[in-house]
Amino acid sequence: MKSKSIFYIIYNIMKNNFKNKFYNEISVKLKNDLYKINIGYMLLKNNIINFKIKKKNNLLIITNKIILNLYKDYINNFIKKKNIKYKIFIIKDGESYKNIKTVNKIINYLLSNNYDKNTILISLGGGVIGDITGFTASIYHRGIKFIQIPTTLLSQVDASIGGKTGVNHKIGKNMIGTFYQPIIILTDIFFLKTLSKKELKSGLVEVIKYGIIFDKKFFNWIEDNINDLININKKKILYCVNRCCEIKSFFIKNDEKENNIRSLLNLGHTYGHAIESYTKYKNWSHGESVASGIIMSCFTSEQLNIFKKKYTKRIIKLFKLLDLNIKGPDNMNATDYIKYMKIDKKATLNKINLIIPIRIGKAIIMNNVSENIIIKSINKAKKL
């Protein structure tokens, strides 16, 4: 991974070289997998990327109506050039459909239409579609290939990278899933222009997360450019997505199965998942929930005398600029949080493990944080 100190050099090179056809490639090299993230603007339309699809490969694109209506022509164009037959399978939109039933529907379709093990599934959508498609690919015929085409900011900077797949269970988020890598990720910031501001901001929460856990300079850069990012300034967003992909692949390369450092990416997520579970994956988006969770983690760290108050203030300021609710749901009290946090995937023997920021640019994993401190942190956020 590029050293953090050459951050500004790279940024300036990119700024100067940036054309409509800007294109970058990040290699994700894992123990058993090697694939590329292709990042650019109008990637597919300009046919910059070049990956092979063989005659024997049947393509099935998994997407939803919203995305299909917006990008039918774009996809058509792209695949026509490749001279390949494909079908589209529509799933319903929303986190509440990220469940085993939807997976079953896709599998029924695949089996009923004789899709064999040379099938390639293409996920065209946000993290929800990506997680469902990846999981389905991992269990169909004991594993078929799949391609990620992330269309939300959150999925471009986070969900599409790293091979975590899965679906929710009424008792908890992402409880059913696998580790399964795509063969390529096509990340086109062109998609972002149609994204609602709400979804865009959700993605920016994860962007800020990378700054907090790993890259102080990037965090400073975000602070300086937050308005450009909100307004989808092409150059800035492109730079930002690229940097996030670099950071996330760094974590993945070093800890694919999340045995240690990869779990730092979960900053704010233990609290956040509790919110999502409690609100049944409705009303509260992933990004909003995580933003609240990050603030609660900051408060936790403050109470442990680790994190400085001034850091928390800077983070709160950023989230407020994004107009995010960082207090968690009004009707959810600390006991509710604790209940869900204990069944979180990261919990062990009922003990809650948390990611704790120690300063901007660095975080640690802390086992067995006391319930008392957690409760205080939640209540402190409520009072914001």
Ligand X SMILES: NC(=O)c1ccc[n+]([C@@H]2O[C@H](COP(=O)([O-])OP(=O)(O)OC[C@H]3O[C@@H](n4cnc5c(N)ncnc54)[C@H](O)[C@@H]3O)[C@@H](O)[C@H]2O)c1
Which residue positions form the known binding site for NAD(+)? 93-98, 127-131, 151-152, 164, 173, 191-194
Looking at this protein, which amino acid is placed at residue 97?
Y
Looking at this protein, which amino acid is placed at residue 342?
K
Q: Show binding-site residues.
A: 93-98, 127-131, 151-152, 164, 173, 191-194, 206, 269, 286
Round the CA-based radius of gyration of the chain to a whole number and report it.
20
Q: Given the complex with ligand X, which of 11 and 244 has the nearer CB atom?
A: 244
Under a CB-based contact definition with an 8 Å cutoff, are residues 222 and 229 in contact?
yes
Q: Which of 209, 273, 346, 380 is catalytic?
A: 273
Under a CB-based contact definition with an 8 Å cutoff, are residues 119 and 57 in contact?
yes
Instruction: Give the C-alpha separation, 95 to 276, whole Å.
Output: 10
- Binder among 111, 283, 359, 367 for its own copies (CB under 8 A): 111
DSSP H or E run through 149: strand 145-150
Question: 154 touches which of ligand X, its own copies, none (CB within 5 to 8 A by kind)?
Answer: ligand X
Question: 31 touches which of ligand X, its own copies, none (CB within 5 to 8 A by kind)?
Answer: its own copies
- Based on the shown chain and the rule CB under 8 A, indicate whether residue 86 belongs to the binding site for its own copies: no
- Based on the shown chain and the rule CB under 6 A, indicate whether residue 164 belongs to the binding site for ligand X: yes
Q: Which of 256, 258, 276, 302 is catalytic?
A: 258
Q: Which 8-state DSSP code applies to residue 192? A: G
- CA nearest neighbour of 186 among 71, 264, 58, 55: 71
Count CA within 13 A, CB hemisphere, residue 179: 11
- Spell out, one character per residue from 70 to 109, where the chain touches ligand X: x when CB under 6 A holds, - when not: x----------------------x-x--x-----------
- Spell out, one character per residue from 284 to 303, where the chain touches its own copies: x when CB under 8 A holds, - when not: --------------------
262 is catalytic: yes
Question: 54 touches which of ligand X, its own copies, none (CB within 5 to 8 A by kind)?
Answer: none
Q: How many residues bind its own copies (CB under 8 A)?
A: 40
Binding to ligand X in span 19-78, by CB under 6 A: 64, 66-67, 70
Question: 104 touches which of ligand X, its own copies, none (CB within 5 to 8 A by kind)?
Answer: its own copies
Q: Candidates 88-96, 158-166, 268-276, 363-371 — which segment interacts with its own copies by CB under 8 A?
A: 158-166
- CA nearest neighbour of 174 among 287, 93, 264, 286: 286
Instruction: Give the C-alpha separation, 347 to 271, whole Å.
Output: 12
- CA nearest neighbour of 212 among 338, 87, 103, 297: 297
Under a CB-based contact definition with an 8 Å cutoff, are residues 311 and 321 in contact?
no
Question: 9 touches which of its own copies, ligand X, none (CB within 5 to 8 A by kind)?
Answer: none
206 is catalytic: yes
371 is catalytic: no
Binding to ligand X in span 306-365, by CB under 6 A: none
Torsions phi, psi of 278, nearest 5?
-60, -40
- Spell out, one character per residue from 40 to 59, where the chain touches its own copies: x when CB under 8 A holds, - when not: ----------------x---
Alpha helices (H) in 322-370, listed in sequence order = 334-342
Q: Given the complex with ligand X, which of 210 and 307 has the nearer CB atom?
A: 210
Q: Which 8-state DSSP code applies to residue 146? A: E
Under a CB-based contact definition with an 8 Å cutoff, are residues 224 and 134 in contact?
no
Q: Candidates 15-23, 100-108, 150-158, 332-340 — which segment interacts with ligand X by CB under 6 A?
A: 150-158
Instruction: Give the C-alpha separation, 137 to 43, whole Å.
Output: 24
Under a CB-based contact definition with an 8 Å cutoff, are residues 254 and 30 in contact?
no
Which amino acids are annotated catalytic?
142, 164, 206, 248, 258, 262, 266, 269, 273, 286
Q: State the residues that interact with ligand X by CB under 6 A.
A: 64, 66-67, 70, 93, 95, 98, 125-129, 131, 151-152, 154-155, 158-159, 162, 164, 174, 191, 194-195, 199, 202, 286
